[in-house]
Chains A and B, each alone.
Chain A
Amino acid sequence: MGVSTFNGLNIALRGLTAQQRALDVTSHNIANVEAPGYSRQEAVMGAAPTLTIPAGANQLGQGAQLGQGVDVVTYRRLRDDFLDLQWRAQNMSGGQAEVGAQRLAQVQTTLGSGSSSDLGAQLDTFWSAWQTLSSNPQSDAAKANVVGTAQTVAAGFQRLDTDLATLGAQATTAVSDLLGSQGPIRPIADELAKLNTQINQATAAGVAHNDLLDRRDLLLDNLSRYGQVSVTPDPTLDGSGNPAYPGMIQVSFGGASTPLVSQTTVTMPTAATLSATPGGTLGGLQDVAAKIASYRTTLNGVAGSVIGAVNGLSSTPIFSGTGSADIAVVATSTTVSAGASGGPAGDNSVATAIAALRGGTVDRGYAGLVQSIGADTANADADLDTTTRVLGSLTEQRQSTSGVSMDEEMANMVRFQRGYQAAARALTTMDDMLNTLINSTGRVGL
């Protein structure tokens, strides 16, 4: 069997087609330069299967392989799976730090430091009222001032406690909102389940599905902001031990034992089924809720020590209640006394003793609360800063693999254009040859 006369035309055609496909891919890359989650693609060209020239056809060509031009072997998606894992882990930490920084900043605002709603300043005023009473033990105005400032302090404790409780409840609600049917996780999970089917079908049919994979990776990227994501291939095997559903993935989320997406099934976790450290926004919210609970315990302790210390020294109780939630003032300006019960009018022993509580356990307790809220907020800010930087650098690394570079695409465009022109030139040459053969051969004497 010889080689067809038109073989060369075929090779040139393959060249034209391959360069055209490569230009298509370049065009696709340029079109998607700003598409989030897009991975740059390239048409991988490879030599087409060669034509084996049979023995005897040509003594020199025995067993020779005649090249048949080029084929686009595959459309490759340039992506580094390992960077994806790192990026998602960092994105998760970023989500956790971000929510911590935002919510703790709100907690910090409730302290009202530097304003008249600052409980610390209200305590200062309360001690001052006693100090004034100790200078003027008979003064009704000073006694009324003690009662007034005590009411401010009690209201201050209650306000701060309520504010903290509200912020804590908001954090807890936000967790269930995120996980709820209207939350942002549900549609991601639903789309992942849908993509499982599409990618499975495409894989089975051998159809290119790079853009579906990009979409899936983008969804997983987005999901990782909310909590810990781990992805494994679908474990189901067919009779011969191969994956029964090639291309499908199983997505575990937030440390819940049931996967979020398994084949086409979506199982939303609840606050109860999440692990203790779900990571991401969810983990951040849980951390914030736990921190707020501990602030409230501290505040409650400070309120308890105000009640205990002041009532312990005063001849008649000033406060009722046991903590920051129920502290109230029972004293009136007629029951407040600067001295011991039934003592002389000028006795200022009680007022002096209570005024001396300034700077003691109560104030230090409150300052400690300010310090721990400040430190937690500062840490969350620093965490956010760090994770943002690391995430930025990982994004750059990912971009360095997957990002579309205009210069590169332009250069490729020129390359493929030239390739196309050259293949066309080969075709023309071939055509010219055939023209000579068909139209000019054997016309001697005509």
Chain B
Amino acid sequence: MRLTNSTIGNRVLADLQASYTRMATTQEQISSGRRVNRPSDDPVAAATERLRNGDLEGIRRSQESVNTATSWLGASETALSSVNDVLSRARELAVQGANGTNNQAARNQIADEIDQLVKSAKDAVNVKVGDAYIFSGTRSDVAPYADATGDAYQGDAGAVTREAGPGATLQLNPPFAAVGATPAGSTEALTGASLLGGGAGAADGRVLDVLQTLSAHLRGGTAADITAIQNSDLGRLQTVQTAVSNARGAVGITLNRAEAATSRLQDLQELTTQGISDLTGVDLAKALTDYTSQQSAYQATLKVGAQIIQPSLVDFLR
């Protein structure tokens, strides 16, 4: 092939250009730390990264959701513990009241304290996390029990669920074996109603009913009342205490699941982050090596170009 001055000039220029472009690409990768700086660098990776970024964002939110769930379950646990304390105290008082040697004044005094315990139990389940009443089912904007409505439960029996990562949910008012759940042996979501019930009027055998019946028997003070305390009320207290213990168990299990979800989400977050980095991140060692060799190639091209272009026959003719 016949080579001319402009051919060689153009070649050197094109090679310099190509060499410089390669260097610029590697430089961009090193400075941004990313192999894919725009979709055209690797369209499939860019599209996949877009979806994985969405996943990552979802995982972060799920972690927040699980955190909320954990504090909610912690508050439930505290409330149940208070109710349990109430019931233990009520049991002591019932044993005391069942003793026939008490006079009526003493029994009234015990009944007064039982009435206070009823209030305590209601206060315990009227607890809020943030702006939500946690024992009102899904009617979380109203307190389970209000002074104006007495023993009537104000919430509903709805399940409160929170998502805890892809495909996982947590029920914040977990189902437990409530007293008198129908059919027998079934469970109800943990709400004011399934735990404390509707009071003596509802005769549902739950905390409020049991305590109020006990109080009524103490105030009645007849031999039949005393017998009822001994034969029935103590047993019923035992039953509701078991139910509260069941509820604490259910909450505990849910808390464990929340913890498991947290660690699973952390793993998932690390995996996804790693996946995104593998997909679009730059292998720095390789990029730096490439850059060094590109740089020396560029310098060599410059040197050779400078030497090749200069001499021609013109320089040697006189």
Q: Contact partner of A128 among B39, B61, B158, CB < 8 A?
A: B61
- 0/1 string, B41-52, CB within 8 A of A gives 1: 111101110110
Q: Does A111 lie at the interface of the complex (its beta carbon under 8 Å from any beta carbon of B)?
A: yes
Whole-angstrom distance from the CB of A65 to the nearest CB of chain B? 36
Q: Does A432 lie at the interface of the complex (its beta carbon under 8 Å from any beta carbon of B)?
A: no
Q: Contact partner of B138 among A139, A347, A371, A403, CB < 8 A?
A: A347
- Interface size in chain B (residues, C-beta < 8 A): 55
Q: Does A407 lie at the interface of the complex (its beta carbon under 8 Å from any beta carbon of B)?
A: yes
Q: Contact partner of A134 among B6, B139, B163, CB < 8 A?
A: B163
Contacting A at CB under 8 A, from B48-91, are 48, 50-51, 53-55, 57-58, 60-62, 64-65, 68-69
Whole-angstrom distance from the CB of B115 to the nearest CB of chain A? 31
Q: Does A124 lie at the interface of the complex (its beta carbon under 8 Å from any beta carbon of B)?
A: yes
Q: Check A400/B7 contact, CB under 8 A, given A343-B138, A371-B39.
A: yes
- 0/1 string, B24-39, CB within 8 A of A gives 1: 0000000000000111
- 0/1 string, A365-389, CB within 8 A of B gives 1: 0111011111101100100000000
Residue of B nearest to A374 (CB): B39
Q: Contact partner of A371 among B44, B55, B162, CB < 8 A?
A: B44
Q: Contact partner of B50 among A109, A125, A363, A411, CB < 8 A?
A: A363
- Which one, A55-63, A68-76, A391-399, is touching chain B? A391-399
Count, A-B residue pairs, CB within 8 A: 188
Q: Contact partner of B46 among A33, A113, A346, A352, CB < 8 A?
A: A113
Residue of A nearest to B56 (CB): A124
Q: Does B160 lie at the interface of the complex (its beta carbon under 8 Å from any beta carbon of A)?
A: yes
- 0/1 string, A131-147, CB within 8 A of B gives 1: 11011111100000000
Cβ-defined contact, B43 with A400, below 8 A: no
Q: Contact partner of A344 among B41, B46, B51, B137, CB < 8 A?
A: B137
Q: Does B140 lie at the interface of the complex (its beta carbon under 8 Å from any beta carbon of A)?
A: yes
Q: Check A370/B161 contact, CB under 8 A, given A346-B140, A400-B1, A400-B3.
A: no
Q: Check A344/B139 contact, CB under 8 A, given A124-B57, A377-B40.
A: yes
- Which one, B117-125, B286-294, B309-317, is touching chain A? B309-317
Q: Does A77 lie at the interface of the complex (its beta carbon under 8 Å from any beta carbon of B)?
A: no
Question: Taking chain B's interface residues, is the majority helix, strand, or loop, or is none over half, making it mixed?
Answer: helix
Q: Check A127/B47 contact, CB under 8 A, given A344-B158, A345-B140, A392-B10.
A: no
Cβ-defined contact, B313 with A139, below 8 A: no
Q: Does A238 lie at the interface of the complex (its beta carbon under 8 Å from any beta carbon of B)?
A: no
Q: Contact partner of B312 among A368, A377, A381, A407, CB < 8 A?
A: A407
B42 surroundings in chain A (CB, below 8 A): 374, 378
Cβ-defined contact, B2 with A401, below 8 A: yes
Q: Check A396/B46 contact, CB under 8 A, given A131-B163, A355-B163.
A: no
Cβ-defined contact, A367 with B160, below 8 A: no
Whole-angstrom distance from the CB of B194 to the nearest CB of chain A? 16
Whole-angstrom distance from the CB of A324 to the nearest CB of chain B? 17
Contacting B at CB under 8 A, from A316-359, are 339, 343-348, 352, 355-356, 358-359
Cβ-defined contact, A134 with B4, below 8 A: no
Cβ-defined contact, A345 with B141, below 8 A: yes
B313 surroundings in chain A (CB, below 8 A): 406-407, 410-411
Q: Does B11 lie at the interface of the complex (its beta carbon under 8 Å from any beta carbon of A)?
A: yes
Cβ-defined contact, B140 with A134, below 8 A: no
Q: Does A15 lie at the interface of the complex (its beta carbon under 8 Å from any beta carbon of B)?
A: no
Q: Does A120 lie at the interface of the complex (its beta carbon under 8 Å from any beta carbon of B)?
A: yes
Cβ-defined contact, A344 with B138, below 8 A: yes
Q: Does A117 lie at the interface of the complex (its beta carbon under 8 Å from any beta carbon of B)?
A: no
Whole-angstrom distance from the CB of B300 to the nearest CB of chain A? 20
CA distance A33 to B37 in the complex (A): 43
Q: Contact partner of A33 among B5, B64, B65, CB < 8 A?
A: B5
Q: Contact partner of B132 among A108, A138, A343, A355, CB < 8 A?
A: A138
Q: Does B156 lie at the interface of the complex (its beta carbon under 8 Å from any beta carbon of A)?
A: yes
CA distance A405 to B312 in the complex (A): 9
Cβ-defined contact, B38 with A374, below 8 A: yes
Cβ-defined contact, B14 with A392, below 8 A: yes
Q: Contact partner of A400 among B4, B5, B38, B64, CB < 8 A?
A: B4
Q: Does A105 lie at the interface of the complex (its beta carbon under 8 Å from any beta carbon of B)?
A: yes
Cβ-defined contact, A374 with B58, below 8 A: no
- 0/1 string, B234-278, CB within 8 A of A gives 1: 000000000000000000000000000000000000000000000
Cβ-defined contact, A348 with B139, below 8 A: no
B2 surroundings in chain A (CB, below 8 A): 400-401, 403, 405
Q: Does B215 lie at the interface of the complex (its beta carbon under 8 Å from any beta carbon of A)?
A: no
Chain B interface residues toward A at CB < 8 A: 1-7, 10-11, 14, 37-44, 46-48, 50-51, 53-55, 57-58, 60-62, 64-65, 68-69, 130-132, 136-142, 156, 158, 160-163, 312-314, 317
What 7 A-B pairs have minimum CB-CB distances, sorted nearest first?
Answer: A374-B39, A374-B43, A346-B140, A403-B4, A371-B47, A377-B40, A345-B141
A-B contact pairs, 29 of them (CB 8 A): A108-B38, A113-B39, A124-B53, A127-B58, A132-B61, A135-B64, A135-B68, A137-B132, A138-B140, A339-B138, A344-B137, A344-B138, A344-B141, A346-B140, A346-B141, A352-B163, A355-B58, A355-B163, A368-B47, A370-B39, A371-B39, A373-B39, A396-B10, A399-B6, A400-B2, A400-B3, A400-B7, A403-B6, A413-B317
Given contacts A134-B163, A356-B163, A404-B5, 12 further A-B contacts (CB under 8 A): A114-B37, A120-B53, A120-B54, A121-B53, A344-B158, A346-B138, A346-B141, A367-B51, A373-B39, A373-B40, A374-B42, A403-B5
